[in-house]
Amino acid sequence: MAFRRVARQSMKRGNEAGNGAGKRAGGGVGWAAPRPDTIGVYVKGNRRAAAGRYAIFLEELEQVHVIGKICRGLRLYWVAGFGIALALCPVARGVTLATTSTTLSAGSTTQSCATQGDTTTLTTLAIAVTGSAPSGTVNILDNASQVASATLNSSGQATASLYLGDGSHTLQAVYAGDAANSTSNSNSVSASISSQCDSFFAVSVSDITPSTSSTMTLSPGESGTATVTVTPSQEYVASLNTTGAPAFVTVSCSGLPSLSSCALTPADLEILPGQDAGVTSTILIQTQSGTVRAVPPAGLGHRSSPVAWAILLPGMLGLGGLAWGARRRRWLQRLSLVLLVGLVTTLGTTGCSPLHRYYNHGPSNPHETPTGTFNVTVTGQSSNGVTAITNSTTMVLTVQ
């Protein structure tokens, strides 16, 4: 390459002009410790530092130290008159972030409350961010103070549930941005809450699948899922902010029909200080079906055994002979009676055995989940170390 040829020629001129202190035996270039502002050249398999006007370039250049700073992807310029390499770090180019737009919409759901005259009002938020495949976090503000955060899904959307206190609330979502998208603020949404239930948290069920008019509808043998949300009240979160410790809520279900089950994943939910948004769990309800009775193995139920006939036939003939001789000897009569009873008992036991029943009649039909409509109770339970804190809601299950 032209670059290497110029480098070698300049290095040769530098060697000829070098002083005696800078030479080794055999005419080599002497190496001195470089000054702090000297350019250092790292080469593959041989690392040396160029001092003054001497520089060495081998076949493969790895990286260059410029005043103690490592720069990769450098531009190297060879100054032939001085025999030095000038290295310039590439200038970082600014990244243009995509413009984003954030929208916020709010709705509300109500539940019954243990306190007469009050209701539990949950504010549900739907957030959408548009841009260049936005990802990351959206912070939720209530009256200009951050109360929760939500993570965008692959479609740039997020949802949140809030258990607001009595009064007027101005809600806003602020997208924090990511490596390719800029930040943006949503529109403001107003919410007015009154007669709010005084509870630590609320339990709600949504996204029921399969469902008919918000009722989980299953046939025996089918399963269904739903989302269980535990939303802490703002007062409860404020108490957690004081202690700085999280709270844990265990969710469970009851009221299921027989021969069915439910499982919650996860069963223990963590409520963090400073996070007013609800935390979710997935409930799975499984029913049982009655399958068609299995058919016993072909031919096994009525197959004759030569071994059995080899035992039974001589025994029957022997009993006949004993019965004929019993007319002359009383003890033979008694013996034949005992043997006859034993034979009948053996045959009866064989006919009533489980194996005989399976081969001749097959297994019995299994039971299935009964049909009907059932109110399934989903309960959340926590503890403050002294008393248990519970709250629950119901969902309708129909087995048809």
Cβ contacts of 153 within 8 Å, gap of 6 or more: none
Of residues 5 and 225, more confidently modeled: 225
The mean pLDDT value of the chain amounts to: 75
Which H helix or E strand runs over 41?
A: strand 40-43
Which of 4-8, 183-187, 209-213, 342-346 is the least confident region? Answer: 4-8
* Domain coordinates in residue numbering, the chain: 2-88, 98-198, 201-294+374-400, 316-361
So what's the pLDDT on residue 55? 40
Q: Is residue 320 pLDDT above 70, yes or no?
A: no
14 pLDDT higher than 80: no
DSSP state of 26: T
Q: Is the pLDDT score of 369 beyond 80? A: yes
Higher pLDDT, 349 or 133: 133
pLDDT digits (tens, 9 = 90+) for 57-78: 433 444 444 444 444 444 444 4
Asked, colleague to colleague, whether 98-198 and 201-294+374-400 share their fold, the answer is: yes
The model's pLDDT over 221-259, given as tens digits with 9 standing for 90+, comes to 999 999 999 999 999 999 998 989 999 999 999 999 999
Instruction: Encode pLDDT of 284-316 as tens digits.
Output: 999 998 765 555 555 544 555 555 555 555 656
- Residue 354: both structure tokens together: 């489980």
Using an 8 Å Cβ cutoff, are 203 and 391 in contact? yes
Q: Please tell me the chain's helix, strand, coil percentages from 3-state DSSP, rounded to the nearest 5.
A: 20, 40, 40
Q: Which CATH superfamily is domain 201-294+374-400 in?
A: Immunoglobulins (2.60.40.10)
As a whole number of angstroms, the distance between CA 59 and CA 69 comes to 23
Q: Of 1.10.40.30, 2.60.40.10, 3.40.140.10, 1.10.10.10, which CATH number belongs to 98-198? A: 2.60.40.10
